Chains A and B, each alone.
Chain A
Amino acid sequence: MSQTHREKLAAKFREFLAPENVVDQPTSLNTYESDGLSAYRQQPLLVLLPENIEQVQQVMRVCHEQRLPVVSRGAGTSLSGGALPHAEGVVLSLAKMNRILEIDHLSRLAVVEPGVRNLAISEAVKSLGLYYAPDPSSQIACTIGGNVAENAGGVHCLKYGLTLHNILALKLVSSEGEIFEIDQRSLQADGYDLLPLLVGSEGMLGIVVEVTVKLLPIPRCARVVMGVFDSVEKAGDSVASIIAEGIIPAGIEMMDNPAIRAAEDFVHADYPVEAEAILICELDGTEEEVLSQIELVEKVLKKGGATETRLARDEAERLLFWSGRKAAFPAVGRISPDYYCIDGTIPRKALSAVLSGVRELSEEYGLPVANVFHAGDGNLHPLILYDSNNEGELEKTEELGSKILQLCIHHGGTITGEHGVGVEKLGEMCVQFSETEREQFHAIRECFDPLKLLNPGKAIPTLARCAEFNAMHVHEGKLPFPELDRF
């Protein structure tokens, strides 16, 4: 892309955006060349930072007229390359639209701009005794607009749901620059329910410019119990037993031995480093509710073969128990030059089969894997440890990651529980969905964005891309998992 083309376009956008809100200098553009998946980099043509809805509309009208691809971006914390720029397109950063517009205590909702940080919502309503439930681990930094684009999850999904379950209304700007709204404050959709299509659509159906979130009362009481196990299977079965008792924990997390060791080295949470697995189970609600359930959970853990159970005595200890789990990613980052986070979901009953499969693959590739697991909802995060300075190791890591995801599909699961497809998992989408299913996705996209300008090349692979992926993954004339239907 020539400098003059860039300059001409920048001038066009500066007709209605403040000069500093049009980024066109290569050194400044570099800030935007990747998101949380830093292995992928691409400098965009321009970065635009509109400050209000009207400006977003104007940007979209110009882009539509000029046929410019548009990649919307919040805080850039995506782990799947969802905000990776397009070489011939603009990055539309919503970071400057970061005001909380309205807090309605009686209706328990907040209307916010897309650039508001996830945690900032809970902080703003804390004095009212309310909070916003979804808590992705990047919640300090990630924005609500990005959460909507990815249908972000977190530790408390099993009880409180994903982003979708906590959104009441959305205002979007279409690829043609028109405003459209989905308002479900009345808990009713008129005609088709488009909210689930839009939430998690990875910026491909519209630009989110206003979000109405549901607020919940802060639970009066939260208690945590830790179960220590000498086998991953016993820990997994105990999760099933807790749920069979009719208990829905606020959070239930599992870590395997390598993850326990890494976390303990990092935060000194007094984790049992010899254990094969630990379960951290949190219950919340009224005090009466929680006290009756926590006793039952301890019993179930012991009956399920826990060698030890620990009940956090106070709030400080509760936070200590969580600190190791919450720091699991950076902890693994300390023991390895690089790590690569996988995001498959499996039916819980497949846990031991999948984990032993992961172990075998890890040995085959000679790359260690630590596992953390949102055990309640089956969302597995294997962390592959590698060193990008070793030639070919990133490619090997990606291949191992892809094998792990295909293993998840094979066991009735999915290739992404909460991180999104982005650019990272396009190939695996070809395994999970048939050609006609992928065609349906493309057809839906064209209903919203006929020119395919919004985040092109993400989330839904083209036919050609799948042909390429399948050709690459045919070994000795055999596809992996030949029993799966493909075409």
Chain B
Amino acid sequence: MNSIDDVDIEGELTSQVISVAATGGEIEIIGGGSKRFYGESLEALPVDVSGHSGVIDYDPAELVITLRAGCKLSEIEALLAEQRQMFGFEPPCYGRDATIGGMVASGLAGPRRAFAGGIRDFVLGVKILDGHGEINQFGGRVIKNVAGFDVSRLMVGSLGTLGVILEVSIRVIPSYETELTLAFEHDSADKHVRWINELGSEPWPISASSWVAGRSLLRLSGSAQGVQYAADQLGGETAESCWDELKEQALDFFDDAQPLTRISLPPATTDQLGDIPQLIEWGGAQRWLCGEVDIPALRSMTEGIGGSVCAFRRHAADVAVFHPLQPAMLKLQRSIKSSFDPAGIFNPGRIYPGL
């Protein structure tokens, strides 16, 4: 039915974890390695989950797919496309070996995030291997499920620090009949931000937005008639789609020789970043800065207004990657980590010290 390898190495992964735990060792969980840069670096015994592959269940009419974590993201996206379906959160690959487990663990989503939801919003269930070597399942394969605390969604963005994700059930959405990109001129970041948020008050079929160097782009998704009507009303010029390049950070803006910083802000925030060159997406909620920046200064600027700053890529080793937590929150999150992984064997320190 599909060409995706069906290989179950759950038993091997379990014995690996149990033997490392028994000797007081530490593990770095690795899938395709495409997002290994994301988070603090660490030195521990690599455990490769990419061999744990296979589609466990996919019935397109149920809008749910259940996969082993080692499945390649690109292959699964192709499988979904055959059924005219897709992941609603438009996940980046950052390399052809990206896996489903890495996608969930990193929690990174693409341009559609602000309009369709993030990975967290689509994950329905997980099977994980915890620090005791126990295999537990949380959530399920149905869209509505409120039995027990929602542990499956807690896994999203946990960067492998809570356990090895073995399987995951994810809600999928139908692909759109038509997509169209429109371009508009806005000579400042603040003008773009106000414009895109004002558009949000109307039910336009918007599925992505971006701004860089005075040019706003808007993607419309929906039925042919619906998209055409919206395009006629909104004006702008038809432009070439560049959303894959944005998602994969392959646009000219992203200079591979420079540090890359991610600033997260409440979407309608203006008057904060001044004239700093930036790429804005997610309706204003996600902003990228390419080049040397003063991370502590940015952090203190965003803190009071509900924002955060991530030293995403290629920053100096002594800069904390993620925005520091308040002490009480860090303490709470460490206790959650310990409840899954009391000995701290999984990806130690990937997010914060002790996390």
Which residues of A sit under 8 angstroms from B282, Cβ to Cβ?
187
Set B114, B149, B202: member contacting A441, Cβ < 8 A:
B149
Set A161, A348, A438: member contacting B62, Cβ < 8 A:
A348
Complex Cα distance, B151 from A438, in Å, reads 11
Report A423-438 CB contacts with B as 1/0, cut-off 8 Å: 0010001001110111
Which residues of A sit under 8 angstroms from B130, Cβ to Cβ?
440
Interface with A: B136-144, B237-245, B253-261, which one? B136-144
A288 touches B144 (CB 8 A): no
Set A150, A183, A440, A460: member contacting B136, Cβ < 8 A:
A440
Given the known A-B contacts A108-B201, A434-B136, A437-B138, are A425 and B147 also in contact in the complex, defined by CB atoms under 8 Å? Answer: yes
Interface residue A403 (Cβ < 8 Å from any Cβ of B): no
Residues 50-93 of B at the A interface (beta carbon under 8 Å):
59-64, 84
B140 touches A414 (CB 8 A): yes
Complex Cα distance, B125 from A413, in Å, reads 12
Interface residue A26 (Cβ < 8 Å from any Cβ of B): no
Most buried by B among A178, A197, A440: A440
Interface with B: A239-247, A251-259, A332-340, A363-371, which one? A239-247
Complex Cα distance, B145 from A420, in Å, reads 9
A289 touches B205 (CB 8 A): yes
Which residues of B sit under 8 angstroms from A248, Cβ to Cβ?
173-174
Complex Cα distance, B141 from A248, in Å, reads 18
Kindly provide the distance from the CB of B335 to the nearest chain A CB, expressed in whole angstroms: 4
A244 touches B60 (CB 8 A): yes
Kindly provide the distance from the CB of B40 to the nearest chain A CB, expressed in whole angstroms: 12
Interface residue B339 (Cβ < 8 Å from any Cβ of A): yes
Complex Cα distance, B174 from A241, in Å, reads 13
Kindly provide the distance from the CB of B176 to the nearest chain A CB, expressed in whole angstroms: 8
Interface residue A416 (Cβ < 8 Å from any Cβ of B): yes
Interface residue A412 (Cβ < 8 Å from any Cβ of B): yes
Interface with B: A14-22, A151-159, A467-475, which one? A151-159
B151 touches A292 (CB 8 A): no
Q: How many residues of A contact B (CB 8 A)?
A: 96
Complex Cα distance, B202 from A106, in Å, reads 11
Kindly provide the distance from the CB of A483 to the nearest chain B CB, expressed in whole angstroms: 16
B202 touches A217 (CB 8 A): yes
Interface with A: B23-31, B115-123, B271-279, which one? B115-123
Residues 325-350 of A at the B interface (beta carbon under 8 Å):
345-349
A106 touches B142 (CB 8 A): no
B143 touches A421 (CB 8 A): no
Residues 68-120 of A at the B interface (beta carbon under 8 Å):
104-108
A347 touches B322 (CB 8 A): no
A345 touches B143 (CB 8 A): yes
Which B residue's beta carbon lies closest to that of A189? B157
B113 touches A187 (CB 8 A): yes
Interface with A: B3-11, B13-21, B208-216, B324-332, which one? B324-332
Set B132, B147, B153: member contacting A193, Cβ < 8 A:
B153
Set A185, A287, A412, A425: member contacting B306, Cβ < 8 A:
A185
Complex Cα distance, B331 from A127, in Å, reads 43
Which residues of A sit under 8 angstroms from B151, Cβ to Cβ?
197, 440-441, 444
Given the known A-B contacts A348-B61, A447-B335, are A415 and B147 also in contact in the complex, defined by CB atoms under 8 Å? Answer: yes
Kindly provide the distance from the CB of A151 to the nearest chain B CB, expressed in whole angstroms: 5
Residues 262-310 of A at the B interface (beta carbon under 8 Å):
285-289, 291-293
Set B137, B142, B333: member contacting A347, Cβ < 8 A:
B142
Residues 163-177 of B at the A interface (beta carbon under 8 Å):
173-177
